[in-house]
Structure 1
Amino acid sequence: MPRLRRVRPRTAGEEADRLSALPEELIRLILSKLGTRAALSTSVLARRWARIPRELPAFDFRVRDVLAPEYERTVALRARNLPRDEHVGRMLDGLVASCELRTMKAFVDGIAGFLEAGGGRAHRSAKTLRLEFFETRDVGVVDRLIAAAVGAWGVEEVEVVVRPASTCDEDVPPAYTLRLKEDGHRSRVRSLALGNCMVPPLLQRYDALTTLVLRDMAASTPVDVYERVFSQCTRLQVLHLTFCGCLEDWLVVDAPCSEIRELVVEACSFLVIELRNLPMLARLACLTDTVELVFGSVPCLTHTNLTFFVEQEFLDSPPPHTELEQFLGTSPSTMENLVIRFTGPRRWVRAECIDNPLLALKRLLVADLPSNWDVSWPRTILMAAPSLEVLHIHVAHSEIEPEAHGIMWTRKDLAHCHPNMKELIMIGFTQQRHMEFLKYVVSACTALQRIVLLKDGHVRYNGLWDWDMQQQCGCWSDKDKRVVTRMIKSGPSPLVQLVLG
């Protein structure tokens, strides 16, 4: 029987020596593959690892990473008002508040220790800093971290999200305001994202800022705060406003020196947005409740996404704005690409003519059109767009019964001509409700090359301004196929492709 060789256990010092002996390039590669917490924790493996410059792509300090697992479950229960027992509920609320305090203390201590590592002189390098923490009065260490990141580590992208603490009143505005020292480093910040924070004062000092995202702004925010963003950040190119509240419901944008090319307004409280002067704006997305859009001088606007929804409260009384003219009547003639969605529990957009024609419009998507609506207002847009080449319509399923009235055709409508239309795709097509519209398209669009009629499907969005129409299995009877095919073949020109799915 062979004699077993006894293996002497390795000591901690030998392990550290082996790790320290790794080439610096390999250590850097290992650190770059780890998250912030894991990469920083490697300093306990060997002294040499702690001295290697931390050239991470991003520093992420998120309070969610150190929260107890049961915290989110408890918060979700309390959001549903569970449990019903008041005594148990108060006990859970106390546990949630206590967990937040303990977590924030550990969070602050961890950042302080990170800043003091190596006597406060540790060399670090990163492009992005992401911070997430609960509302707290102890923000000094956060300010120090941001100042060090922007001033010494070369950080150009900063994201700060303040999570409301369970003990805070929702109506009270957040207390945290980002303040960079006036030491010349502020110009390095090119991208800034703020969630539930106060907008920094003197925005003109952020003279290198090209991207700004504001999210969860308090309802008590004055409208001039948003207007200052447009006028003072003269090099800003991308601005996103998401879930932003405001004291006033009318936002006026008048910034003749602005370089903003992309503007996204999502789920904000503005009822009227007046784009009086944005000379470089090329892409606009307005995804919110009922809003009136007033276009002034926006000579470069080409891509637009308009999504509006009427809540159940308007079922018994009409919403304040119900005509296409309120949304497209002042739109610029440069618009080439349009995504438009008017959704809600009932038909609330009247098919009134658009006074200002959409002369440059080439691609149009009408999405999420409830099946209980007719297609009179999509036809109205079609009639106002003489250069339209591609028309895509997505009809969504609706549990509400169809309305009694249908499309009212006039002799002038039937005589209309669209010589540039090449493609029509319609998802949710039903012969009973959409046959008249199809007849109009076939007769008026003399250059049609492709018609796709789908019983079911969905829209797959590629960002905010591009899309693909996705087909799902649909069943056509032989009779329906013959009726539709015969009608389409009776048009003025033969089709290259007809798809019924």
Structure 2
Amino acid sequence: MRQGEEHNSCREDKISSLLNEILILIIDKLDARTATATTILSKQWQDLYTHSHTGFDLTVDDILPPRYHRLKQVVVEAKARYEAEKNALKLDGSYASRDWLYSFKDWRWKVCLLTPILQRYERWAMRRYVKRVNAFLLAPDNVQQRSIQKLRLQACGRSDFTDQWITEAIGRWGVEELELVIDNSSWRYDFRLLDGCKNVRLKRLVLSNCYHRFAPNPLTFQSLTSLTLCKESLRMLHVLDILENCAQLVDLRLKDSGCRQPAFNIVIPKSQLKSLQLDNYNTVSVHLASVPYLETFACRGQPTIIRYGDVPRLRHVSLNFLQTGDNGKDDSSRSNRTYQLSKFFRGAPPSLEYLVLQLRGRQVSSFS
């Protein structure tokens, strides 16, 4: 082959000759930004994107520069060193260690120095992020209706447009799976704003640092089949209020509560809930009082007293109790508290087909 022919061969667009079904698979593997860029290639690619891409991940992390993440990691590592020194000294009952004082001062110095810098980056990124999400979700009415099956929004801090984002995503674009993550802050949303929308198809909802206003029977909750609540979304009264309204809920996950929660008493005799997962859900005890359709229960984190009531279909239980601190991470303090295994099987445990026990640390003693 001659050099000129070889050069022309390299420039030839061979990928567009593939079947549309294959091209759609390729586009679906791309991130949202790259997939959107394919629309400028040709009319064919524009149509492919419109008909194929149904999942979008719009995160502020894509805008924040690498230096932001490096500086944030410095603060995290300094705090980890301080916590490790503090936990190690709990054995001696003394906080006078020179190493501990040094690690504390080092952490505080880095926090005071770097926090204003991190906040400036976050404000800069959020201004650009808001423009990007507004252009995507708050498009004029004459814009062609797109199909959005999955949508993930991740912001660092609040925005005055958050209510509009949620309402437009669920009520206008018909999102079926929505994940909303708000870092460094929290947000409260009134789900009754969606009651008048006719295009609501929401089945799966993930909320992190976003909780709902107390509302009687919001219609959106009645169609949910999967719900995950994280961090500030885990306020007990809000969790119980949601459970009472989620008539079709099958899967519930509660993750990473920031503070100690009161006893979790679950009384939902009319619920269809089949799977309940508690991951670092910091609570005194869990009472499965009345969950008639529950089949799978998993609990991970700090040792928690568990009482079983009316759970006739429960067959799979997984208990993963680690020696943890209040943040849910491994605790090196080696607390002298112990928990009898019988505390994890209070009440009337059903006949199980599958039981997993993972107990680490010195906090667990034998049956009694």
TM-score (norm: length of structure 1): 0.57
Q: How big is the alpha-carbon RMSD for the aligned residues of Structure 1 and Structure 2?
A: 3.6
Instruction: Report the AA paired with residue 196 of structure 2.
Output: D
Instruction: Report the AA paired with residue 249 of structure 2.
Output: L
Contact 2:224 2:249 in 1 (8 A): yes
Q: What CA distance in whole angstroms lies between the structure 2 residues aligned with 1:314 and 1:19?
A: 58
Q: Any gaps of 5 or more consecutive residues in structure 1?
A: 9-14, 169-173, 353-501
Aligned to 2:156: 134
Aligned to 1:32: 28
> What SS does the corresponding residue of 1:276 show, helix, strand or coil?
strand
For residues 88-487 of structure 1, what are the structure 2 equivalents within 5 Å? 90-115=112-137, 120-138=142-160, 140=161, 142-164=162-184, 174-177=186-189, 179=191, 180-185=193-198, 187-199=200-212, 201-202=214-215, 204-205=218-219, 206-217=221-232, 221=235, 223-245=236-258, 248-310=261-323, 317-319=336-338, 322-344=339-361, 346=362, 348-352=364-368
1:144-189 C-alpha deviation (Å, 9 max, x unpaired): 344333334332111111111xxx6xxxxx1243645222447511
1:430-464 C-alpha deviation (Å, 9 max, x unpaired): xxxxxxxxxxxxxxxxxxxxxxxxxxxxxxxxxxx
Aligned to 2:77: 80
Q: 1:153 to 1:325 in 2, by over 3 A?
A: same
Alignment equivalent of 2:37, drawn from 24, 32, 41: 41
Q: Is 1:62 the equivalent of 2:67?
A: no
Q: 1:328 to 1:99 in 2, by over 3 A?
A: same
| Displacement of 1:60 | 1.2
Instruction: Report the AA paired with residue 215 of structure 1.
Output: C
Contact 1:204 1:233 in 2 (8 A): no
Task: Report the count of equivalent residues.
Answer: 327
Contact 1:55 1:126 in 2 (8 A): no
> What SS does the corresponding residue of 2:320 show, helix, strand or coil?
strand
1:239-277 C-alpha deviation (Å, 9 max, x unpaired): 000112466421111111011100001111111111110
Q: What CA distance in whole angstroms lies between the structure 2 residues aligned with 1:268 and 1:160?
A: 19
Q: What CA distance in whole angstroms lies between the structure 2 residues aligned with 1:116 and 1:273?
A: 42
Q: 1:290 to 1:86 in 2, by over 3 A?
A: closer
The structure whose Rg is larger is 1
> What SS does the corresponding residue of 2:365 show, helix, strand or coil?
coil
Q: 1:272 to 1:149 in 2, by over 3 A?
A: same
Contact 1:20 1:47 in 2 (8 A): no
1:372-415 C-alpha deviation (Å, 9 max, x unpaired): xxxxxxxxxxxxxxxxxxxxxxxxxxxxxxxxxxxxxxxxxxxx
Q: What CA distance in whole angstroms lies between the structure 2 residues aligned with 1:88 and 1:244?
A: 26
Contact 1:20 1:46 in 2 (8 A): no
> What SS does the corresponding residue of 1:258 show, helix, strand or coil?
coil
| Displacement of 1:77 | 0.4
> What SS does the corresponding residue of 1:198 show, helix, strand or coil?
strand
Q: What CA distance in whole angstroms lies between the structure 2 residues aligned with 1:87 and 1:301?
A: 51
1:48-96 C-alpha deviation (Å, 9 max, x unpaired): 7556635313011011111101111100102233994988764532221
Contact 1:187 1:209 in 2 (8 A): no
Instruction: Report the AA paired with residue 252 of structure 1.
Output: N
| Displacement of 1:330 | 2.3
Q: 1:259 to 1:79 in 2, by over 3 A?
A: same
| Displacement of 1:304 | 0.2
Aligned to 1:407: none
> What SS does the corresponding residue of 1:252 show, helix, strand or coil?
strand
Q: What CA distance in whole angstroms lies between the structure 1 residues aligned with 2:112 and 2:363?
A: 45
1:93-140 C-alpha deviation (Å, 9 max, x unpaired): 2221111111111111112223466775123112111111111232x2
Q: What CA distance in whole angstroms lies between the structure 1 residues aligned with 2:108 and 2:55?
A: 44
Identity, % of aligned positions: 26
Contact 2:75 2:107 in 1 (8 A): no
TM-score (norm: length of structure 2): 0.76
Q: 1:37 to 1:348 in 2, by over 3 A?
A: same
Contact 2:122 2:156 in 1 (8 A): yes
> What SS does the corresponding residue of 2:180 show, helix, strand or coil?
strand
